[in-house]
Structure 1
Amino acid sequence: MRALGENVIKYIASTIVILLLSFSAAAEQLQEQNLKFGMQAVLTASPGKGSELAAIMLRASNVVSTMEGCELYVVQQSLTDENQILVTELWSSKNDHQNSLANEKIQALIGEAKPIISSMSGTPAKYIGGHGIE
């Protein structure tokens, strides 16, 4: 049983790395154009762990709010699936986003979240505009 749990954690960690690498390739184009870098992520927690994951992501929001280039970091919980956490990020550049992922405190929060994340997806985005962001 323990080996199964370790395999699940390894699978989730590998999936996170693959997603970050795929986001990175798409984001390269944004960096070349000197555009703001956005990310829309959906994190699904293990059953009954949605509020715990939301709390971790809110702590991440507090950390990144003091980092260079972070313009927006919104954490929401789905009304239709309490285990689904939605994160919307906007950064001045892809580089600023990459730097945030290397931050010691963010790395610790990622380590805390990994065991309770059952799946995740994300889409890098180009900022166009809208209410609330200047």
Structure 2
Amino acid sequence: MKMAMAKANPADLDMALELAYALEAISSRHGGTMPEKIAKPQGGEDDTEPFSVDDSENCRRVCEYLIRLARSASLFRVVMGMTVLLDPTNKVVDPTASTLEHHPDTLAALAAMAKSASDGTE
């Protein structure tokens, strides 16, 4: 049985990217920073506001931001869309490849269609 899922729209993808950037910022191994959209200008060369999980004001601002962001679009559609795309039973992508590549069955069908077209046996 093949899975079907509504495609993520541009707002969903934008939100997912912004969320990923925000999570990368606050969890950086080199010292967390506030997400760019809510960072207060610091002045000076390093214009990033540091983030500390021990700072309750930082945590409140980040939580409020992440909640607003999550409500703005559907992360579920983005994640489930990729889950459906990668489901081996759907035969969309090559399950043995480490990158997004066409499924071997798709490539074989396209090659057969091209051969048929060049032979004039469409």
**TM class, shorter-length:** under 0.3
Instruction: Give the TM-score, by structure 1 length.
Output: 0.25
Larger radius of gyration: 2
Normalising by structure 2, we get a TM-score of 0.26
Q: Normalized per residue, which structure has more strand?
A: 1
